[in-house]
Amino acid sequence: MMIYPTMELLDGRCVTLDKGNLDAPMIWHVDPVETAKGFAEAGAQWMHLTDFNALQGDPSNDELVENIIRSAGVPVQLGGGIRTRERAEYWIEKGAGRIVIGTMAAYDPAAVAELAKYYPDQIVLAVDVCGGQVMTEGWRKAGAWTPEAFIEAFENAPFAGIIVTDIDSDMTDVEAQLGLISGLAEKAKSPVIASGVVRTADDISRLKYISNISGVLVGRALFNKTLTLEEALATAEATAEPVAEFL
């Protein structure tokens, strides 16, 4: 299972948000570029990057994002405010390994399905769920889709993955989050990447045994230091089945 160390940017700084609340970010006093390099040095094969300014239509982080893509040493899966084909192609040309699309997919699914066919294995669908509905506009607006219907609408699109986030559940209710994610993973044709469910290595251990879960985003736990990236990567490695010895 792939571990995606996750960085979220707001006004040029690394942050984490409580259920997408931009008014009260937790700010981490670290250098974003050096932190990204640290992910690679620890052994990560990918990283995930979300630009919260771009979610609001503000391109002020673009130069920093480009610097991270260029300097990280691992491919970057980029999300945040990518709501047109032109914006997606801009970041692909800048070297992003994958582009994460949510709001555009909810409003213009045909365009996103076409984009996925044109860039196979480079487009990731974001399914952000709250109250049984897919949320758009950076978790601020309820869309017209149920998560099941949203995933079914793209069953023939060659996505690199589908990121599922249960916004509704508090981090203390990981069982509910795992239930939602595992249910959606059963319906998805593309591999599912879980988001928002990792506090400790034990959570990664449980995710390993859910069918069609190909990876997990790990951000807050790394910055909170409840989990190291080295621990996360080691836990995610395939475990050899025990072999009986015959005498």
CATH number of the domain enclosing 136: 3.20.20.70
pLDDT at 168: 67
- The pLDDT, as a whole number, for residue 77 is 98
**Which pLDDT score is estimated for 210?**
86
Q: What is the pLDDT of residue 201?
A: 94
Considering Cα of 226, then 208, then 42, then 119, what sign does the dihedral take?
negative
- pLDDT confidence band for 247 (50 / 70 / 90): very low
Burial 119-140 (b: 16+ CB within 10 A, else e): beebbbbbbbbbeebbbbbbbe
Q: Which domain holds residue 192?
A: 2-236
Out of 128, 166, 203, 231, pick the active-site residue: 128
Name the band, by pLDDT with cuts 50, 70 and 90, for residue 211.
confident
Residue 19 has pLDDT above 50, yes or no: yes
Mean per-residue pLDDT of the chain: 90
pLDDT for residue 200 is more than 50 = yes
What does the pLDDT average to over 76-97?
97
Mean pLDDT for 85-108 is 96
Max mean pLDDT range (116-120, 184-188, 209-213): 116-120
Q: How many structural domains is the chain composed of?
A: 1
Tell me whether residue 6 is in a domain.
Answer: yes
Is 245 domain-assigned?
Answer: no
Lowest pLDDT segment from 16-25, 61-70, 84-93, 145-154: 16-25
Please tell me which residue, 207 or 174, carries the higher pLDDT value.
207
pTM, two decimals, is 0.92
Q: How confident is the model at residue 212 (pLDDT cuts 50, 70, 90)?
A: confident
Q: Which of 8, 51, 166, 231 is catalytic?
A: 8
Q: Is residue 246 part of a domain?
A: no
Q: Is residue 49 part of a domain?
A: yes
Residue 119 — very low, low, confident or very high, per pLDDT cuts 50/70/90?
A: very high
Domain-embedded: residue 79: yes
**Domain-located, residue 242:** no
The answer to the question of residue 247 being in a domain is: no
Q: Specify the pLDDT at position 239.
A: 62
Structural domain contains residue 80: yes
Tokens (6 digits) for 228: 């190291």
Please give the average per-residue pLDDT across 235-245, as a whole number.
65
Q: Is 231 a catalytic residue?
A: no
Tokens of 89: 């192609």
Per-residue pLDDT, 179: 83
Q: Is 128 annotated in the active site?
A: yes
